[in-house]
Amino acid sequence: MDISLSMVAKEAHQGLDGLPMPVPHKIAKKHKKAVLFFEVEILDAKTREKLCFLDKVEPQATIAEIKNLFTKTHPQWYPARQSLRLDPKGKSLKDEDVLQKLPVGTTATLFFRDLGAQISWVTVFLTEYAGPLFIYLLFYFRVPFIYGHKYDFTSSRHTVVHLACICHSFHYIKRLLETLFVHRFSHGTMPLRNIFKNCTYYWGFAAWMAYYINHPLYTPPTYGTQQVKLALTIFVICQIGNFSIHMALRDLRPAGSKTRKIPYPTKNPFTWLFLLVSCPNYTYEVGSWIGFAIMTQCVPVALFSLVGFTQMTIWAKGKHRSYLKEFRDYPPLRMPIIPFLL
């Protein structure tokens, strides 16, 4: 009896051809992968007061997206004026930084600092450069109440004065056009308070140098035409070089991108200065004003060149350090602004 039952069971698992029939397998259920959300706590960097708590933040969320979420609870602090940091005294996080790639746990604490009212870089540059252009022309045309009524709307008899006006106007018109059509800014805005400081510098020096160069008692350079021609050559070469560098830097960054690459010389010989310095645009800029100072032999122009050189050296050193930190294969021969020296 037992033998017959086992034989029947065995035959039940065989097909008609005597082969064993396949045993059906259980279909495994697919489980959805659980998404691990982050919690983001935003504190005031100064007072440590809790400003905002964001629940269920996507791991792939960027700092820019977190800023937008923060703005919903605090509309007065729009994204451009927000600085979010991992440490109250640390550096601001970049907008493109991803939350899950930061050294934080699933509950992240960020510190907020208000950068103040912001203004676009384009607006800043247009204001800074339009002012000197307009102010210088007021002195050049000797509008009333500057030099006395007998000199109103009169013209200087010295050729170098007219040449200086052409060079000065060309420089700032070039800057305005570059701002509109060439420059690509890594940051969209800057603090509004900076525009007053920058305009004081540019507008004030423009008025100071223009007053003396266009003064009725102005005397031409000591070495006359030869000095003017040499200075004009320096000015023109440096202006072309400055524009060439700006074009080369523009081509490194696609429109709408914040990509950073090592700048290298192109086929344009004016860009070969990249072999020796990190910021040749500043080198050419300083060279232009040195040429202008030699041309006009004017103390305010020399002081403007010196102050500008000091500020641009600070900027150049900062960019040079950033290049060295970001790119391990950065050319070691380069200096920030002056070949082999500085």
Spell out the domain ranges in the chain: 38-116, 119-326
Q: What is the dihedral of CA 312, 317, 319, 321, to 10 degrees?
A: -170
Which residues lie below 8 Å from residue 246, measured CB to CB, with a gap of 6+? 178, 182, 183, 281
Question: For a pLDDT cut of 90, what percent of the chain falls above it?
Answer: 69
What is the average per-residue pLDDT within 249-270? 85
Q: What is the mean pLDDT of the chain?
A: 89
Question: For a pLDDT cut of 70, what percent of the chain falls above it?
Answer: 88
Output 253 or 160, whichever has higher pLDDT.
160
105-155 pLDDT, tens per residue? 888 999 999 998 888 888 889 999 999 999 999 999 999 999 999 999 999
What predicted TM-score, i.e. pTM, was given to this entire model?
A: 0.80
The Cα–Cα gap between 88 and 248 comes to 37
CATH code of the domain made up of 38-116? 3.10.20.90
Q: Per mean pLDDT, which range of 193-207, 273-287, 288-302 is the poorest? A: 193-207
Confidence at residue 274, expressed as pLDDT on a 0 to 100 scale: 96
What is the average per-residue pLDDT within 156-169? 97
Between the CA of residue 151 and those of 131, 147, 154, 214, what are the distances in Å? 23, 6, 5, 11
